[in-house]
Amino acid sequence: MGSYILCDEMRIKVIFVMVFLFSSDFGLPQLGATLGINYGQVANNLPSPDQALVLINSLKITKTRIYDTNPQVLTAFANSSIELIITVPNEIVEELTNPQQALQWVMTNVQPYIPTTKITGIAVGNEVYTTEDEALMSNLVPAMVALHSALVQLSLDSSIYISTANSLAVLENSYPPSLGSFKPELVPLLAPFLQFLDTTKAPFWINAYPYFAYKDDPIRVSLDYVLFNPNSTGMVDPYTNLHYDNMLYAQVDAVTFAIARMGYEGIEVRVSETGWPSKGDGDEIGATMDNARVYNRNLLLRQMENEGTPLKPNQKLDVYLFALFNEDLKPGPTSERNYGLYQPDGTLAYNVGLTTLTSGASISLTSSATLGCREEVGSLWCWILMLALIRMMMMIL
């Protein structure tokens, strides 16, 4: 009988701690603080933007990036808590070098939706500096300058910044991170771009995928290192003595060093895309559901802790996960169509610790913590709960 009483007392104490954790500022960190998600739409079978919004809100994510200025998305996201980054397609960058065209573009695609839709960033093109399109590359900064001038003219520059997402292929060297440098042929183009970012206080965005490093050299690249798993094969930068236990942080710091090498130390580096494919072709080594689950779960746990990189540990790293949905019309290898956390019908492509529930036309999610963590022992919310409880106990002691 005594043991049952003790059990009941323990349950009451646990419930009290849970209520405290979930209701206080001390408790669980919010995903939306540093984590965003890319909402691509290269598919013919996706849910409506309204349904996508329900899904994103259920994930407690408050930052989203889209690859166009789809008016249906901009309208659907009105009066929500979502901060939205919109994109100027590569095909129209040249025409926006004209100040009048840039002003018209902003007046058509941005101004009508402000402030109900929280547009906070404009990505001008995507991976422009690795397209080998010389005209596009040379037109990028003039288009950014013209768009920024339009924002100033419309009094929108204080709430919306302008940048572009860059492939890691802009780097000539990334190892060790302290030797990070840009390709010499890109330096003349990157100099005015960095000057623009520095002047407007905008971030340098990178699309960083440790998956590709592992796929290309699985013998020498440790899988645990790229998946954020505990490992003994991390690396220590011999010039800074900084220790890296995962490749993504090393990639980010390599870009930071490359920027500093160009004379700009105050520009923040953010990850505009990262993720892991759950399926691939026969030669796409590592593209498996298990690896995708582990990479994204570990990344989410890091983001919950508001971590910074070894070079800038006190500056939380903003990361946008790629992607919300699998997109069946994307060209290229099988992996390109299998980066999504979710299938188009709203069911999980794989479980990172959240359980999908569908009802009628709506899509909703419930954390597996509320289901007794029965989905999987290592589920995301179970780990978060454990971390929070441990933190609480340390504080009490």
DSSP string, 176-223: SGGG-EE-GGGHHHHHHHHHHHHHHTPPEEEE--HHHHHHH-TTTS-H
Alpha-carbon span 384 to 35, nearest angstrom: 15
Q: Which residue has the higher pLDDT, 236 or 384?
A: 236
Residue 307 φ/ψ region, left for φ over 0, alpha for ψ in the -120 to 50 degree band, beta for the rest: beta
Q: Are strands 171-173 and 181-182 parallel, antiparallel or unpaired?
A: antiparallel
94 is catalytic: no
Tell me which residue has tokens 């965003």: 36
Q: Which range among 14-23, 164-173, 326-335 shows the weakest confidence by mean pLDDT?
A: 14-23
Peptide bond connecting 208 to the previous residue in cis, omega within 30 degrees of 0: no
pLDDT, residue 345, reads 85
273 is catalytic: yes
Q: Could you say which of 9, 95, 185, 273 is catalytic?
A: 273
Peptide bond connecting 115 to the previous residue in cis, omega within 30 degrees of 0: yes
Alpha-carbon span 40 to 43, nearest angstrom: 8
CB 319 within 8 A of CB 344: no
pLDDT, residue 365, reads 34
CB 38 within 8 A of CB 320: yes
φ, ψ (nearest 5 deg) of residue 216: -80, -20
Q: Could you say which of 127, 284, 327, 375 is catalytic?
A: 127
Q: What DSSP state is assigned to residue 325?
A: B
Please report, rounded to a whole number, the percentage of residues in the chain having pLDDT higher than 90: 74
Alpha helices (runs of H) in the chain, residue ranges in sequence order: 2-23, 49-58, 71-76, 99-109, 134-153, 187-200, 210-216, 223-226, 247-261, 289-304, 380-396
Task: Assess whether pLDDT exceeds 90 at residue 189.
Answer: yes
Alpha-carbon span 141 to 136, nearest angstrom: 10
pLDDT tens column, 242-269: 999 999 999 999 999 999 999 999 999 9
pLDDT tens column, 279-301: 999 999 999 999 999 999 999 99
pLDDT, residue 122, reads 98
Alpha-carbon span 138 to 140, nearest angstrom: 6
